[in-house]
Amino acid sequence: MMPLDQYVTLGRSGLRVSPFTLGTMTFGEDWGWGSSPEESEKILAAYLDRGGNSVDTANSYTNGHSEKIIGDYLAGQSSQRDRVVLGTKFFCNLYENDPNGGGPSRKAIVQQLENSLRRLQTDYVDIYWLHNFDPATPSEETLRTLDDLVSAGKIRYVGFSDVPAWATAEAATIAQMRGWAPIIALQLQYSLLERTSEGELIPMAEAMGMGVMPWSPLQGGLLSGKYSSSNTAPSDTTRARPGGPTEAELVVIDAVNAVAAEMGVSSAQVALAWLRGRPGVSSVVIGSRRIDQLEANLGALDVTLSEAQRTALDEISTPKLNFPADNNRQLAPTLQFAGATVDGRPSAALPGLHESPTRY
């Protein structure tokens, strides 16, 4: 099996991470469906033993218990702390009725980080992710606070998660102009069943030097192989979506299952292999509640889709994107190149054009 220590550079930075990042939203049973602390530690140990170095959590995951489990484990494995790329997130409020308990203000960021460091039992985190978007807090306040924390040695890098493309681009431009810590990566929802980030977020990330770290690569288990058009009832109902997959999703799910059967691998491995090969993607966040799920997902490192298989999956899952993304992608080459092939991509010409100059 391909090892996790074939690292990739995350965005326009000097930070290297494994092709799969271990997501730990499942660490802790506080929400009724996660892993026990003991099973969580087994999953973490197995991931690190395989050469994985990128671990992702958040202050809100299982109400802080996820961070505590990771902190307890690393406290007993102190030699591993510096080789782990440990990321956590801020924004979510863990204090009822406290208007400053969450969000991206200076007061909120500092207290959230101090609490995360306490739970994680470490002096610093490697990536500190903004976990959502607050239109009221000035970007300058958030970015300056994060830059101060980088200067203080409490965080190493800055990432954005689930923030609109325009707000991320604005923040990245402000940080660059002010000489503050840059945004090196994005976390976003991305899978064969959720590709709308291809309209704005991923092109922005590629243009601005940000690595892309997709979450929910199996769309909450819909791409795990449990579902098909002949079986819409989940085998595990703890986190199942009410009503199961839609008819449109089942078309994609059946195509993934067909490729998996053709290759003799699992549907989850096909979905993960497809995502790893998408433009802009650096590392995919994978989560597991059991050690066998982790091992099965890591098997996707050995799966290589053929060009025909990848094309078939691309075409059957092509999303309808917000204006003007589809207009730019489909019409712009015709308007710009008028039938010429550029960068290996042919274009069409407008009706009535000729090789000679315009007649009017």
Whether 3 is covered by a domain: the verdict is no
Whether 185 is covered by a domain: the verdict is yes
Look at the chain and report how many structural domains it folds into.
2
**Per-residue pLDDT, 79:** 87
Distance CA 133, CA 168 (A): 9
**Shared domain check, 117 and 82:** yes
**Shared domain check, 227 and 170:** yes
Do residues 159 and 184 lie in contact, with contact meaning Cβ atoms separated by under 8 Å? yes
Binned at pLDDT 50, 70 and 90, residue 238 comes out as: low
Residue pLDDT, tens place only, 67-118: 999 999 999 988 899 999 999 999 999 999 999 999 999 999 999 999 999 9
**Shared domain check, 140 and 118:** yes
Whether 254 is covered by a domain: the verdict is yes
**Shared domain check, 49 and 32:** yes
Which residue from 124, 114, 48, 39 is spatially nearest to 86, judged by alpha carbons?
A: 124
Which residues form the domain of 133?
8-322
**Shared domain check, 290 and 174:** yes
* Residues with catalytic roles: 61
Distance CA 304, CA 1 (A): 12
**Per-residue pLDDT, 11:** 97
Whether 2 is covered by a domain: the verdict is no
Looking up tokens 């064969």 gives 192
Cα 82 to Cα 125, 182, 186, 200, 325: the distances in Å are: 10, 22, 23, 35, 41
Residue pLDDT, tens place only, 289-329: 999 999 999 999 999 999 999 999 999 999 999 999 988 98
Q: Please tell me what DSSP assigns to residue 159.
A: E
Question: What is the share, in percent, of the chain residues with pLDDT greater than 70?
Answer: 95
**Per-residue pLDDT, 235:** 58
**Shared domain check, 179 and 36:** yes
Q: Say how far residue 147 (Cα) sits from the centre of its chain.
A: 23
**Per-residue pLDDT, 350:** 85
> pLDDT higher for 250 or 357?
250
**Per-residue pLDDT, 188:** 98
Looking up tokens 């990566």 gives 185
**Per-residue pLDDT, 128:** 99
Which residue from 188, 32, 157 is spatially nearest to 86, judged by alpha carbons?
A: 157
**Per-residue pLDDT, 240:** 63
Whether 293 is covered by a domain: the verdict is yes
Position 231 pLDDT exceeds 90 = no
Cα 146 to Cα 97, 109, 143, 150, 173: the distances in Å are: 25, 8, 5, 6, 15
Residue pLDDT, tens place only, 152-168: 999 999 999 999 999 99
Averaged pLDDT of the chain: 94
Interior CA angle at 14 toward 13 and 17, to 5°?
Answer: 95
